[in-house]
Amino acid sequence: MTLDDLQRQLGHRFADASLLRQALTHRSHGQPNNERLEFLGDSVLNCVVAAMLYRHFGRIDEGDLSRLRANLVKQQSLYEIAQRLGLSQYLLLGEGELKSGGFRRPSILGDTLEAIVGAVFLDAGFEAAQSVIAALYEPVLKTVDPRTLGKDAKTLLQEYLQGKKLPLPVYAVVATHGAAHSQVFEVECSIPKLKVQVLGSGASRRAAEQAAARGALDAAQALVPAGAKRSRARADRADKTERPDKAERPDKAERSDKAERAEKAEKADAPDKPEPAERGSRGLRAAAAGAATHGAARPDPDAEPRVAAHGDDAARDEASGLTPLPASVEESRPARAA
């Protein structure tokens, strides 16, 4: 492959071929390199892609247009276009970058594409650069769905599965083909829950994953239509909140009997408490005993002994701690019947 082949793919023949060579020279190779051309090309690319989106999508607002443009000029998108052009075959790299596989690195290839745009701009002006960019991006714009806001296939697949409450996909490299500078990767995208397995191929592992994700998304959408999420969710809620049949539920009378038995068992387990009357008599006896011990007057040894005429009544009064009545009152009391 020669630089003539690359110029044919670009649709532009350089009047100053040194600009193209500089655009293909990485800083690891020496001076002059493509870093300044990359800076210029980045600005031109953003301007042209913005104008293309403005013309293609007349009903999309400014915020969505910005997101679409960011997706189209990001490193991965530039890398995929660079792979289409086969730029890895034309790169001028230092030995270290060659040994580490720099010709396959997305960042190097994306930067090189921007440098080429800058070189075209310097060689022939804005219109020439615009023509080259339009030719490179026209196929890409045909695949852009404004409803997805420029999201890649892997992101769309992940969001779709999450919305359906399904597990995320699994990606695995199953094969690689070709020489080191032009390898083709085959990646399998599988969704075990749906029994979906789709192969995708690309010049890089990431590109192959995107291709596989696009196929898996189509397959998943065919298996799980839009209305499936709601019906499944309703079924799940019904399973969780299912109530027992009427035959299994105890009736009101049975529940009342159970409550009454539980209350009786509680009372039986509780310690016996004295009745109010019993507690009152005990309290009175305790108070009387306390008064007799601490507050009652002790008998005077010089006082005359009590008259024994009252017999048993006096003994009972003394035993109960009651204060005996004065003699005048005692004499006025009627005699008890024998």
Q: State residue 282's pLDDT score.
A: 54
pLDDT class for 207, splitting at 50, 70, 90?
confident
Phi-psi sector, 86: left (phi>0), alpha (psi -120 to 50), beta: left
Greater model confidence, 308 or 10: 10
Q: Is the pLDDT score of 309 beyond 50?
A: no
Lowest-confidence segment of 66-70, 115-119, 244-248 by average pLDDT: 244-248
Gap between the Cα atoms of 105 and 102, Å rounded: 5
Higher-confidence residue of 245 and 119: namely 119
Average pLDDT, the chain: 78
Instruction: Give all domains of the chain, ordered by start, each with its CATH number.
Output: 3-145 (1.10.1520.10), 153-229 (3.30.160.20)
Average of per-residue pLDDT across 169-173: 96
CB-based contacts of 120, cutoff 8 Å, min separation 6: 10, 12, 14, 128, 129, 132
Q: What is the pLDDT of residue 6?
A: 94
pLDDT band at 147 (very low <50, low <70, confident <90, very high): confident
Lowest mean pLDDT segment, chosen from 103-117, 124-138, 168-182, 295-309? 295-309
pLDDT at residue 304 greater than cutoff 80 = no
247-266 average pLDDT score: 59
In this prediction, residue 242 carries a pLDDT of 44
Read off the amino acid at residue 314.
Answer: A
Chain segment 93-104, per-residue pLDDT in tens: 998 888 888 888
Asked whether the predicted pLDDT for residue 297 surpasses 50, the reply is: no
What pLDDT was estimated at residue 41?
97
Residue-wise pLDDT tens digits, 105-114:
899 999 999 9
Per the CB < 8 A criterion, the answer to whether 182 and 198 are in contact is: no
The whole-angstrom distance between residue 316's C-alpha and the CA centroid of its chain comes to: 89
Q: What is the pLDDT of residue 184?
A: 87
Look at 19-33, 67-81, 85-99, 295-309 and tell me which has the smallest mean pLDDT. 295-309
- By annotation, the residues acting in catalysis are 42, 114
What is the spatial order of strands in the sheet that 170-177 belongs to?
170-177, 184-191, 196-202
Average pLDDT over residues 24-53: 95
